Amino acid sequence: MTDPSNPKPPAIEVVLNLVVPTIQLQMTLASSRYSPEALKDDNYALGYIFGYHDAILQGLKVDDQLRIIGTLAISYEAIFSDQTVASQLLRKSLDSQHDVTFRNGVLKGGGEAISAVRNLQVPMGLFTWLTR
């Protein structure tokens, strides 16, 4: 899928190979104390997931809003394995941009994404939040 003349992989490829497994792992580890249905009522967790994506997309210098939304939609569907749930959670995330709790999650998720890439630190903030 990567163009040999352009060694930089497309943003969707990076998100599907980097972000999706990271979020899925944290949610799987937390699954004994948390159910995915609870996410719709958890603005912090939604903010974390959104912020993690946002930081990676910013790092890739993706600034086209349609491309960002399209990438998020594909990634959320991969994470949640259900188009309806993914769509609902993405819509709630987009509508929650001004919520303080959501913003705190965005900051944590974004910060962990940056640390994961720069310092090779394993992000566990979503897991920690979900199992509190």
Structure confidence at residue 37 (pLDDT):
73
Residue 69 has pLDDT above 50, yes or no: yes
> Does any domain span residue 15?
yes
Average pLDDT over the chain reads 91
> Does any domain span residue 4?
no
Structure confidence at residue 10 (pLDDT):
84
**Boundaries of domain holding 119:** 11-130
> Does any domain span residue 5?
no
> Does any domain span residue 2?
no
Residue 124 has pLDDT above 70, yes or no: yes
> Does any domain span residue 3?
no
Give the tens place of pLDDT for each residue, 73-116.
999 999 998 899 999 999 999 999 999 999 999 999 999 999 99
- How many other CB atoms are there within 10 angstroms of residue 109's CB atom? 30
> Does any domain span residue 76?
yes
Give the tens place of pLDDT for each residue, 37-48.
788 899 999 999
105 near 43, Cβ under 8 Å? yes
> Does any domain span residue 74?
yes
20 near 78, Cβ under 8 Å? yes
| Residue 120 or 6, more confident | 120
Q: What total number of domains does the chain contain?
A: 1
Is the pTM value of this prediction over 0.85? yes
